[in-house]
Amino acid sequence: MPATMNRLLPAIFSSSICAFIAAALILLPVQAKAIDPGNLKAEKRAVRQNLQQNLANINLLQQAIDQQQEKINTGEHKERDLLGELEILDRNIQQQQSKIAILEKQLSQQQNLIHKKEGEIGRINIKKKTVLEHLQKRLKTYYTRDKIGVANIAFSTETFPELLSFHDAFSQLLTYDEAIINTYRATIGELQDSLTLLDREKGVLASFISEAHTEQEGLDRALNDQLQLLNQIRTQKKLHEQAVTEMDKAARSLTASLNTLEKKSRLLEQGFLLNKGQLAPPVTGPVLVDFGEEKENRLGIRSTSTGISIQARNGIAVKSIFEGTVIFAAYLRGYGNTVIIDHGHSYSSLVSRIEKILVKKGQRVSTGQTIARTGPTATLMEDGVLVEIRKGQTPLAPLAWLDHKHLPKP
């Protein structure tokens, strides 16, 4: 991979990760708004949508995290393999360096031998030159004496045998000198041959060293390439780890938002409680009997009211104070025609002293839906539509739950 691409890779990779994280963070829901009790359906719908979106986003992030983790694992495998290859390369380079050191040592020794041989040749040449000069002097003397040999015989005070003996001795000296020169010449030839051989060996060693250096350069290039690849793998691994960290952070944020939404969803399921004090009464009219008030019916039976009685005209609609499920819709002894609605989380409302029931048991009703109608027969024993609110079996004060603007004072 080109060096420029190696430099650009982290930036490109990091940008793509940042883009992904940014996209994930954009999907995070904004801070939850306060619940609007008057718009619970829309609130619930929005929460459900946000919950679904959050779950989808978390799944996408988890998939992306798994993919990044897989890439990290792959990078770690590649790094281990590459480190093994680098170890082998380093060992080969060390062996090559040792080989070059041995060859260079041998080359140095060879050069020393060459210098030694060259010194020997120089010294022998000097000796040879000295002997040659000495021989030339002898020959000159000899030939000079030989040219006047007749005169020497005639005029010499020495006898002929003495002159002959001198000639023989001088010839022997010349022969000796010639032998020495020949010996020097032969020695020089041998040394020259040895020097030629040493030069050849030096050339071979130099060639070996050159090849070894070429091999080492190749190993060095391979090592450098592998180190660059290792650096690239580690950079990518670091970026993948950074991506996992950022995605984990985003996933934690999404999870926190999901928990908030789930809490809000559970709270919305308690919409009846959230609307406390804002519930529209089943009918509009003044309160005749309050909660806990002592009352007496037309038969003279006295009791404590467990709800409130609201004065209402005959024939008007009786409405559900909040959404829920009808759990009773029939005549109830002591109450008359009665509708009981379960509003969830153990809260329920009861409406009785009604003329006509318009809903059935098990039916789902919405807030403000008409569930019955008033009539004269329903209030024969007691006046007003009876409204009770209970938490489990415990009666609660309805006026604490109902909107008083629909309950004008008599």
The DSSP secondary structure of 191-257, one letter per residue, reads HHHHHHHHHHHHHHHHHHHHHHHHHHHHHHHHHHHHHHHHHHHHHHHHHHHHHHHHHHHHHHHHHHH
Comparing 199 with 98, the larger pLDDT belongs to 98
Examine the pLDDT at 170 and tell me if it is beyond 70. Answer: no
Contact 329, 354 (CB under 8 A): no
Same domain, 218 and 346: no
Mean of pLDDT values over 353-372: 95
Examine the pLDDT at 299 and tell me if it is beyond 70. Answer: yes
Examine the pLDDT at 387 and tell me if it is beyond 50. Answer: yes
Same domain, 251 and 113: yes
Same domain, 302 and 263: no
Examine the pLDDT at 335 and tell me if it is beyond 50. Answer: yes
Q: Which of 241, 269, 297 is the last residue of a domain?
A: 269
- In tens, the pLDDT along 41-55 reads 777 778 778 878 878
Same domain, 243 and 122: yes
Return the minimum-mean-pLDDT range out of 52-61, 186-195, 325-334: 186-195
360 vs 35: CA distance, rounded Å: 31
Count the domains in the chain.
2
Burial 152-180 (b: 16+ CB within 10 A, else e): eeeeeeeeeeeeeeeeeebeeeeeebeeb
- In tens, the pLDDT along 200-238 reads 877 887 887 888 888 888 888 888 888 888 888 888 888
Same domain, 158 and 297: no
Percent of the chain surpassing pLDDT 70: 78
Examine the pLDDT at 323 and tell me if it is beyond 70. Answer: yes
Q: How far apart are the first and last CA of the chain?
A: 91
Same domain, 246 and 299: no
Same domain, 297 and 206: no
Domain ranges, residue 333: 279-406
Task: Give backbone dihedrals phi and psi of 373, rounded to 5 degrees, phi first.
Answer: -135, 150
Examine the pLDDT at 155 and tell me if it is beyond 60. Answer: no
Whichever domain contains 349, its CATH number is: 2.70.70.10
Same domain, 210 and 312: no
Same domain, 360 and 386: yes
Same domain, 309 and 258: no
183's CB contacts (< 8 A; 6+ apart) are none
Same domain, 283 and 249: no
Same domain, 174 and 283: no
Q: Which of 269, 294, 327 is the last residue of a domain?
A: 269
- Helix 40-147 to helix 160-269 angle (10° resolution) is 180
